[in-house]
Each structure stands twice: as structure tokens, then as C-alpha cells.
Structure 1
């Protein structure tokens, strides 16, 4: 270092401090742009991130559906899907569950009749019995249809209108829901009937 007679001792003492402050632990202090670039994250996720997010969302959805289905099996109204918690649907279910419906055994009876008719049809001497079984199956089907019409027109629909009003009742949707539930065996219905016995009508 060359000696400068015009340079004060105070300036010479401040020069090492300034250089040490600029270095900062042996390396230069990063600029603002460099710090922002280091913290930068892309707005558009990568394919791996999208797949992981989709898998996690699917897992949560499946867990929620499992909880809701378990609630329907147990008759837990508060944890069922929102559609099943609607007062109108609850009333329809309670009414159908309290009633004895011919359509409840329609599918099992038809299956048994078809099997019997097929067996009898293979034996020439019992061909007439096969025809009789088929006729009885159609008679039962007709009786079940009439019974469902009576249930809806003379029982469930008037009570729904009296309780909830005409404006809130969607007749086609409520009738379809009631018929679908009436065609299932009571112990296999989902959601589970709230009453263990028949005859307990909703209020």
C-alpha cells in the first residue's frame, strides 16, 4: 500500500470496517432481485404436483362418501348426504317404511316364478303349470302397480301437500323416490328405516 500524506488516519481506520461490512461473513450481501428470485415459485403447478393434489382430493372425497354411506346404513340422519336430510325425503321414507307394500317382494317373486316356469316348461306333462305360474306372476305385478298408485294418489301425496304445501312438492320426483324405495325389501333399504316396526306413520 502506498503512503498518502494527505490521507487522515481516521479514513484509514474506517476503510477496513467498510470492506468487512460489505463482505458480510465472507460473501457479498444478496441484492433484492436475487432474494425475490430465490423465493419465486411458479404459479402453474407441475404435473407431479397436480397428480398429488388430485390423488389427495380423491382420497378425501372417498373418505367422505364412506362416512355418508355408513351413516345411511346406521340411520344416522345428521351425517347423511344433504339430499337425504331434506324433510320431504325423510317424510317419504318414513311413510313407505310404515306401510306394507306389495312391490316390496316383486323382484324375488318374479325370479322364483321364472325359475319354476322354466323347470315346468321342460316337462311336457307340466307345461300347463308353467303357463299358470307365468299368469300368476303377471297378476302379482299388476296388483303391485295398482298398490303403488293407491299409495301415492290416496295416501302419500295428499299428506305431503298438507304438510309442506303444493309449491314445495315436486310430484314426479317424490313419486319416483317413493316407488323406488317401496320396491326394495325393507331390511335392505338405504337409508335404513328409522322405525324398527311397520305402522309408525310420520307426523
Structure 2
């Protein structure tokens, strides 16, 4: 008598399978039994929404706590972690861009033409300083990434870090893990 071989166990490609081929009706019955489809569409949609809600909540908690396992894909990995730490450890002009823009907007509403002109000129000067600071930071980060991660894919990491600097430190997600002045 031939011993029946389990379907999941690997076998040699030239060897016989060791069991008879199932009848079509039996194969179709097995296929139908394996798939678990909810009986009700509304119930399936509700389960799907609930599962997505739980996953989003886990990702949000990971962003707040810095849990590396549950972060969204754009924030995962040692390269992105180093990029976050590199940018969070420095003072940058870009993080003050939004508050400065609000101040300039308020000053431009004032009816004094001289004050409006000064506010616009200071805004342009600040804008140029932000660009120069971003170029300096980007070049430094690119060089450091090439030294630390020579064999890893660092594509997009510099842009990721520069976008992070545009946010005020308190509002950054994932939360900063290093203090200013510390080196990652």
C-alpha cells in the first residue's frame, strides 16, 4: 500500500506524488471549504474597516512613541532613523519658517507702507537663508549617509530629512529621539 504524502511537504521533482489525483468534485469541494468568506457583505466591510482602523491606530501610537516595528513604510529602517536623528540634533532655519511667515503676514497687513516694505525684504532675506541652510544640511547629510550606509539604499533620505526640518520640532512625527546638540 502506498503511504499518502501531505500536500505541503516538499518532494523531489522526479518522484511520484504518492497518492491518487483527487476527482474534480473533491478538489472543488476542498477549495470551497478552505476559503472563509463572510456571509454578509456589510459584515465583511465592517470587519475590513475595523482592521484598518486598528492598523492606523497602531501606526499613530508608533509615531508618537517611536516604535520602529509599527512605523509606516516611509519612516522605517536604519537609514530613515539616522536621517531623523541627524536633523533633530541640529538647529535649523527652516523650522522657524512658518512662525516667521505668520509674523511677516501680520506686518504686511499694517497700513504703513515702510513697515510693509521692510517686512517683505526681511522675509526674502530669511527665505534665502533657509534655502542656503537647507543646501548645507542636505550636502552634509548626503556625505554622512554615504559614509555610514555605503551598501544601503539611501534614495529619498535627504528629501525626507529636509521636509522634516520644515516642521516645528514639537510637531514632528515620529517624535524626536535625540536632543539638540547630541550627535546621532
**Once the 2 structures are TM-superposed, how far is the Cα of residue 50 of structure 1 from its aligned partner?**
2.1
Q: How does 1:10-49 map to 2 (within 5 A)?
A: 49=40
Structure 1 counterpart of 2:126, from 140, 143, 147: 140
Query: 1:69-94: per-residue Cα shift (whole Å, max 9, x none)?
Result: 11211222233234422111001000
Please give the residue correspondences for 1:10-159 in structure 2 after superposition, counting only pairs within 5 Å: 49-119=40-110, 122=111, 126-153=112-139, 155-159=140-144
Partner of 2:183: 201
TM-score (norm 2): 0.75
Quick one: which of 160, 172, 175 aligns to 1:192?
175
Cα distance in 1, alignment partners of residues 68 and 159 from structure 2: 21
**Do residues 178 (structure 1) and 161 (structure 2) align?**
yes
Name the counterpart of 2:150.
165
Higher helix share: 1
Q: TM-score, normalised by structure 1?
A: 0.68
Across the aligned residues of Structure 1 and Structure 2, the Cα RMSD in angstroms comes to 2.2
**1-side partners of 2:113 and 2:151: how far apart?**
52
Query: Which of structures 1 and 2 has the bigger CA Rg?
Result: 1
Give structure 2 stretches of 5+ with no counterpart.
Answer: 1-31
Question: Unaligned 5+ residue runs, structure 1?
Answer: 1-39
Aligned length: 152
